[in-house]
Amino acid sequence: MNEGPPAYNIEEERVAILAAFKGLLRSIKDRSREDTKRIRKAFDLAIDAHKDIRRKSGELYIWHPISVARICAEEMGLDTTAVVCALLHDTVEDTYITLEDIEDAFGLKVRRIIDGLTKIPDVFDDNASVQAENFRKMILTISDDFRVVLIKLADRLHNMRTLSSMKSEKQLKIASETKFLYAPLAHRFGFYTVKTELEDLSLKYCEPEAYQEIVAKLKSTQDVRARFIRRFTAPIKEELHQQGYHIDIKARTKSIASIWKKMQTKDIPFEEVFDVFAIRIIVDTPQENEKSDCWRIYSIVTDFYQPSPERLRDWISTPRANGYESLHTTVMSPQGKWVEVQIRTKRMDEIAEKGLAAHYKYKEDKNDESKFDRWIAEVRDLLDNPDANALDFINEFRLNLFNDEIYVFTPKGELRVLPTGSTILDFAYDIHTDIGDRCIGAKVNNRLMPLSYQLQNGDQLEIITSPKQKPNEEWLRFVVSARARQKIRSSLNEERKLIAQDGKEILERKLKQFNLKMGSENITFLEKYFGLGSATELYFRIAKGKIDVNKIREIEDKHGLLQLAKKEAYTIKKTKKSKEDKDKSIDAKKDILYIGEDFKGIDYQMAQCCNPIPGDRVFGFITINQGIKIHRSDCPNAIHLMSKYAYRTVKAIWTSEKMVERMASIRLVGIDQIGLVNRLTEIISKENKVNMKGIHFETNDGTFEGRVDVMVFDTEHLELLLQKFAEIEGIQRVTRWVDDNESMY
Q: Which residues are catalytic?
A: 93-94
Beta-sheet pairing, 439-444 with 415-419: unpaired
Q: Please give the Cα distance from 352 to 323 (Å, whole number).
A: 8
Q: Please give the Cα distance from 185 to 194 (Å, whole number).
A: 10
Cα 643 to Cα 4, 240, 638, distances in angstroms: 37, 48, 8
Q: Please give the Cα distance from 154 to 341 (Å, whole number).
A: 30
Tally Cβ neighbours within 10 Å of residue 36.
13
Q: What residue type is 66 in one-letter code?
A: I
Count of all residues that appear for the chain in the document: 745
Q: Please give the Cα distance from 482 to 278 (Å, whole number).
A: 32
- Continuous H helices in 243-345: 256-266, 290-304
Q: Please give the Cα distance from 29 to 27 (Å, whole number).
A: 6
Q: Note whether 254 and 280 are within 8 A (CB).
A: no
Residues contacting residue 49 through CB under 8 Å, at least 6 positions apart: 91, 94, 95, 96, 97
Q: Note whether 446 and 416 are within 8 A (CB).
A: no
C-alpha closest to that of 645 among 175, 177, 135: 177
Backbone angles phi, psi at 15, to 5 degrees: -65, -45
- Which residues are registered as beta bridge partners of 409? 415, 460
Q: H or E stretch including 501?
A: helix 482-513
Q: Note whether 569 and 703 are within 8 A (CB).
A: no
C-alpha closest to that of 518 among 503, 540, 498: 503
Task: Assign residue 457 a region (left: φ > 0; alpha: ψ between -120 and 50; beta: otherwise).
Answer: beta
According to DSSP, residue 647 is labeled: G
Q: Note whether 440 and 465 are within 8 A (CB).
A: yes
Q: H or E stretch including 393?
A: helix 390-399
Angle, in degrees to the nearest 10, between helices 482-513 and 424-431: 90
C-alpha closest to that of 444 among 428, 433, 466: 428
